[in-house]
């Protein structure tokens, strides 16, 4: 990978776009595949009706391990080198998935995709923390999310077109090409933000002590667990979206339109958050979003029960649009709050926060998604229950946090 100093420093806007593209490897690996799940299920002879969900879940399992590996390494070797390794693993995973002829090989390829994509995801957070803190960090992450949201808006449609014109394997070729382009852009334009004098010696004892510091810091640990509960509900949606829209409601080729509309709600919330967070602070926004999410889910759970889990599609879309706006407020703020006290160990902290929350979401989200029974009751119940638990975690963490000025 070429390593050179850019002729002129990367601008704030270019860095936002670059980091959004780096983060989008994960989104593209998930969202572009959703319209293809039924085709993959038939081609690879998956017999379990909910088995296709593991094509999504296996990627998150790789992410969880990758987060934990690449974060500490970036504190010792610098930020850029480990990201190159991650890009390479991601591309190998793409190739393995392209040439897979069995469900098991597909899952290995998906796991490697997640393992590799974890590097640009977790280390980009460390790079951001190297340069920003507090509300400025939350604002930058919200802007990244705003640009990034174009991927889940467009990816399902791209996947749908590829299935119609070519086949599902072409989707993995698109992921591979994006990985190549992004890796070279990063190499040529992004400077190293952790110079050698600031790097830490890699040792198991240091990692253990750093993990202990994060786990015993009430703010970091509390908001890490909160992030896990929030993302668990989102993972339930990602795992069941294709079944709900195409199998249950029969939207067919219009699935990308519905999926993209909901992604736009997250993007709109992220853009709104980037403006409001500097005025209102992260805690106020998180508190409001959690209450709104829980209240909306409580009301719609009643609607779902009264319709035996088959409410009109238009009502489901209205509910999810408002719900996803709340999630867009939560995503950037909760992670920034978990990272706020850990600037001195940003790499390991980013790894631990991301790894714990991802493992938590994979376990909880998979258990809920596997209960899908042809109705939306598991989805809405999951959002409601996880919303209430998240509120409890928020208030316990906020009450016990040190009485520093609210970020």
DSSP, residue by residue, 310-356: ---HHHHHHHHHHHHHHHHHHHHHHHHHHHGGGGGGHHHHHHHHHHH
CA pair distance 120, 117, nearest whole angstrom = 6
Confidence (pLDDT) at 148 = 64
What's the token pair of residue 204? Answer: 């198991």
Confidence (pLDDT) at 404 = 45
Confidence (pLDDT) at 229 = 92
Query: 365 Cβ partners below 8 Å, 6+ apart?
Result: 57, 60, 231, 232, 233, 234, 235, 236, 239, 382
Confidence (pLDDT) at 342 = 74
CA pair distance 175, 59, nearest whole angstrom = 14
- Measured from the Cβ of residue 209, the count of other Cβ atoms closer than 10 Å reads 13
CA pair distance 264, 273, nearest whole angstrom = 14
Confidence (pLDDT) at 309 = 92
Q: pTM to 2 decimals?
A: 0.73
What's the token pair of residue 106? Answer: 């597909």
Which CATH architecture is the domain 12-188+206-400 placed in? Up-down Bundle (1.20)
What's the token pair of residue 220? Answer: 């970091």
Confidence (pLDDT) at 183 = 92
Confidence (pLDDT) at 51 = 81
Query: What letter would DSSP give residue 199?
Result: P
Confidence (pLDDT) at 403 = 44
Q: What is the mean pLDDT of each run of 10 residues along the chain (407 residues)?
A: 59 85 82 83 82 84 85 83 94 94 92 93 81 75 68 76 86 91 90 80 75 84 90 86 89 85 80 76 88 95 94 95 89 78 71 81 87 91 93 85 45
Confidence (pLDDT) at 306 = 95
Query: What letter would DSSP give residue 193?
Result: S
Confidence (pLDDT) at 1 = 54
CA pair distance 154, 161, nearest whole angstrom = 11
């Amino acid at each position: 990978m070429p390593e050179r100093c850019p002729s002129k420093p990367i601008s704030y806007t270019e860095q936002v776009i670059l980091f959004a593209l780096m983060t989008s490897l994960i989104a593209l690996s998930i969202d572009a595949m959703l319209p293809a799940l039924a085709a993959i299920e038939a081609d690879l002879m998956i017999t379990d009706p909910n088995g296709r969900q593991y094509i999504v879940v296996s990627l998150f399992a790789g992410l969880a391990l990758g987060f934990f590996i690449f974060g500490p390494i970036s504190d010792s070797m610098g930020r850029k080198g480990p990201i190159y390794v991650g890009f390479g693993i991601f591309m190998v995973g793409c190739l393995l998935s392209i040439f897979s002829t069995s469900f098991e090989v597909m899952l290995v390829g998906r796991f490697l995709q997640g393992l590799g994509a974890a590097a640009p995801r977790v280390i980009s957070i460390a790079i951001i923390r190297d340069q920003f803190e507090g509300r400025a960090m939350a604002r930058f992450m919200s802007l990244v999310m705003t640009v990034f949201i174009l991927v889940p808006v467009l990816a399902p449609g791209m996947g749908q077109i590829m299935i119609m014109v070519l086949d599902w394997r072409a989707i993995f070729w698109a992921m591979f090409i994006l990985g190549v382009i992004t890796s070279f852009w990063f190499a040529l334009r992004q400077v190293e933000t952790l110079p050698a004098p600031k790097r830490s010696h890699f040792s198991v004892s240091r990692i253990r002590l750093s993990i202990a510091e994060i786990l015993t810091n009430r703010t970091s640990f509390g908001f890490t667990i909160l992030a896990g509960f929030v993302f668990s509900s989102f993972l339930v949606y990602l795992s069941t979206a294709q079944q709900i829209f195409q199998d249950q409601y029969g939207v067919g080729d219009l699935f990308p339109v519905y999926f993209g509309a909901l992604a736009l709600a997250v993007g709109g919330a992220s853009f709104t958050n980037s403006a409001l967070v500097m005025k209102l602070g992260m805690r106020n926004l998180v508190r409001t979003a959690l209450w709104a999410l829980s209240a909306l889910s409580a009301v719609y759970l009643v609607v779902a029960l009264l319709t035996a889990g088959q409410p009109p599609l238009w009502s489901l879309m209205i509910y999810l649009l408002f719900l996803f706006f709340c999630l867009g407020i939560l995503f950037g703020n909760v992670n920034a709050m978990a990272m706020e006290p850990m600037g001195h160990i940003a790499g390991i902290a980013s790894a631990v926060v991301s790894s714990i929350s991802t493992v938590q979401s994979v376990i909880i989200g998979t258990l809920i998604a596997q209960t899908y029974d042809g109705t939306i009751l598991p989805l809405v119940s999951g959002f409601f229950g996880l919303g209430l638990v998240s509120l409890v975690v928020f208030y316990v963490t906020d009450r016990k946090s040190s009485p520093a000025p609210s970020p």
